[in-house]
């Protein structure tokens, strides 16, 4: 049974959709090969100790495969990687078919062309309603590109970052 109380789901989605996010691919080297999914709920958590977090849905078919490996890589997408975002949020097709990758420290795929990557071990997985809250401990990370902005998601549409004139 739904426990949304007096909150209308359409209003919830429309309102929360006004908060812009970046897009990352959370990847792992699973038993049957590389896996990953597009995630907008990624955030930095703590510097000391170095922790990050994100929220996979409880209906995700990819998250259980990532969890089994005990590690993951956060791939922060650049604005010129919309096709990667679409591949990793679609239920159809081989997500890695046209996506070159390599590995760094955790063994999880680091997707070529990302703005930055963050290799993590899984520190904690906690219940968060219809999602899981996953805390990752940072093992290694790098800012790989400075020539392009981040891929952004706002009100159901994708965009690029443009600084205000005064900034």
Ligand X SMILES: Cc1cc2nc3c(=O)[nH]c(=O)nc-3n(C[C@H](O)[C@H](O)[C@H](O)COP(=O)(O)O)c2cc1C
Q: Which residues of the shown chain bind ligand X in the complex (CB under 6 A)?
A: 23, 37-41, 55-57, 60-63, 85, 89, 91, 153
Distance in Å, CB of 51 to ligand X, minimum: 17
Distance in Å, CB of 88 to ligand X, minimum: 6
Task: Determine if the peptide bond prior to 38 is cis (ω within 30°).
Answer: no
Distance in Å, CB of 35 to ligand X, minimum: 8
Distance in Å, CB of 138 to ligand X, minimum: 19
| Nearer to ligand X (CB atom), residue 105 or residue 152 | 152
| Nearer to ligand X (CB atom), residue 91 or residue 102 | 91
| Nearer to ligand X (CB atom), residue 87 or residue 141 | 87
Taking the C-alpha atoms of 56, 60, 63 and 68 in order, what is their torsion angle to the nearest 10 degrees?
140
Q: How far is CA 38 from CA 24, 27, 165, in A?
A: 6, 9, 31
| Nearer to ligand X (CB atom), residue 25 or residue 110 | 25
| Nearer to ligand X (CB atom), residue 63 or residue 117 | 63
Q: Which DSSP string do the residues of 42-86 spell out, in sequence order?
A: -EEEETTTTEEEE--BTT-SSHHHHHHHTEEEEEE-BTT-HHHHH
Contacts of 50 (CB under 8 A, 6+ apart): 137, 138
Distance in Å, CB of 48 to ligand X, minimum: 26
Tokens representing 70? 């005990």
């Amino acid at each position: 049974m739904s426990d949304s109380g007096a909150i209308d789901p359409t209003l919830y989605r429309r309102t929360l959709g006004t908060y812009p996010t970046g897009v990352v691919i959370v990847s792992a080297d699973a038993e049957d090969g590389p896996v990953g999914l597009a995630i907008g709920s990624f955030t930095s958590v703590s510097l000391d100790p170095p922790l990050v977090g994100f929220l996979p849905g409880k209906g995700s078919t990819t998250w259980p495969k990532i969890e089994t490996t005990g590690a993951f890589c956060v791939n922060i997408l650049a604005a010129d990687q919309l096709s990667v975002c679409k591949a990793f949020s679609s239920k159809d097709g081989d997500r890695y078919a046209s996506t070159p990758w390599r590995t760094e420290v955790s063994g999880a795929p680091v997707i070529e062309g990302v703005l930055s990557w963050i290799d993590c071990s899984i520190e904690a997985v906690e219940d968060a309603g219809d999602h899981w809250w996953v805390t990752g401990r940072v093992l290694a990370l790098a800012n790989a590109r400075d020539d392009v902005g981040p891929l952004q998601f706002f009100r159901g549409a994708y965009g690029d970052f443009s600084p205000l004139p005064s900034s």
